[in-house]
């Protein structure tokens, strides 16, 4: 089911409804603007790997990936009822969250015909009680996600621009995932995911190994 967030971003980038849901060969494209194909991907990037890999062979493709910074939770007693409770989730997102998703997109990005646009957004999650809810459980399911605010967008065309997101100096002689963790404020396991993405997009190269881990250098 298409969420409101997906529809809102699709219209935002298309400019007008007439340019959305365009059929091109075997694929339905979210939006077409000038000569650029636009795909809004709220779910995992892995789901569109093959589609994008084929489209970029002959077209300029912009993949719009929303990154949720703040979430407001709106609860309803049923799908048709009015919202009776709103609160902000204590969890805040970060642009670095995209590396968790890019693990499954390194065979596609970078490509000369591909633009990856990260859109930093605030959203509202609409939740209703789960169908299998039990009396002693407070289970809710998400029935819609709505756009509340666009903070800014970050356009990525080259692997080196991914490296720029982590805040390390490109001229630094070498570094490990410990350095990535310190520079980004992320835990070591997340720094390892970041390193995986950077390595497999050729943004960094492995130059050695020591007790602290693999040694890298910016490509």
- Residue that has been written with the tokens 């994008």 in this structure: 52
Class (C level, CATH) for 159-219:
mainly alpha
pLDDT score, position 212: 82
Contact 145/5 with Cβ under 8 angstroms?
yes
Contact 103/48 with Cβ under 8 angstroms?
no
pLDDT score, position 32: 94
**Domain(s) of CATH 1.10.10.10: residues in the chain:** 159-219
Contact 163/199 with Cβ under 8 angstroms?
no
Q: How far apart are CA 30 and CA 33, in angstroms?
A: 10
**pLDDT < 50 regions, the chain:** none
pLDDT score, position 25: 87
pLDDT score, position 80: 82
Burial class of residue 177, CB neighbours in 10 A (0-12, 13-18, 19+): buried
pTM: 0.91
Q: What are phi and psi of 79, to 5 degrees?
A: -60, -30
pLDDT score, position 150: 98
Contact 74/65 with Cβ under 8 angstroms?
no
pLDDT score, position 134: 61
pLDDT score, position 184: 97
Taking phi over 0 as left and psi of -120 to 50 as alpha, with beta for the rest, 19 belongs to: alpha
pLDDT score, position 19: 86
Q: How far apart are CA 182 and CA 166, in angstroms?
A: 10
Q: How far apart are CA 98 and CA 94, in angstroms?
A: 8
Q: Which residues contact 139 (CB under 8 A, 6 or more apart)?
A: 129, 130, 132, 133
């Amino acid at each position: 089911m298409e969420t409101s967030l997906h529809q809102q971003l699709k219209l935002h980038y298309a400019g007008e409804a007439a340019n959305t849901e365009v059929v091109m060969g075997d694929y339905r494209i979210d939006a077409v603007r000038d000569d650029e194909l636009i795909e809004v991907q709220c779910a995992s990037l892995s789901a569109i790997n093959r589609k994008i890999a084929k489209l970029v062979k002959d077209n300029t493709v912009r993949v719009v990936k929303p990154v949720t910074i703040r979430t407001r939770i709106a609860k309803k007693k049923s799908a048709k009822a009015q919202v009776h409770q709103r609160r902000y989730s204590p969890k805040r997102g970060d642009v670095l969250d995209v590396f968790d998703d890019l693990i499954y997109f390194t065979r596609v990005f970078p490509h000369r015909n591909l633009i990856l646009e990260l859109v930093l957004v605030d959203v509202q999650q609409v939740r209703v009680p789960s169908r299998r809810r039990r009396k002693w459980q407070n289970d809710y399911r998400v029935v819609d996600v709505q756009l509340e605010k666009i903070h800014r967008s970050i356009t990525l065309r080259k692997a080196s621009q991914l490296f720029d997101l982590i805040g390390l100096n490109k001229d630094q002689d070498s570094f490990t995932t410990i350095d990535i963790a310190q520079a980004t404020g992320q835990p070591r396991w997340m720094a390892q995911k970041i390193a995986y993405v950077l390595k497999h997009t050729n943004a960094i190269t492995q130059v050695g190994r020591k007790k602290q881990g693999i040694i890298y250098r910016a490509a």
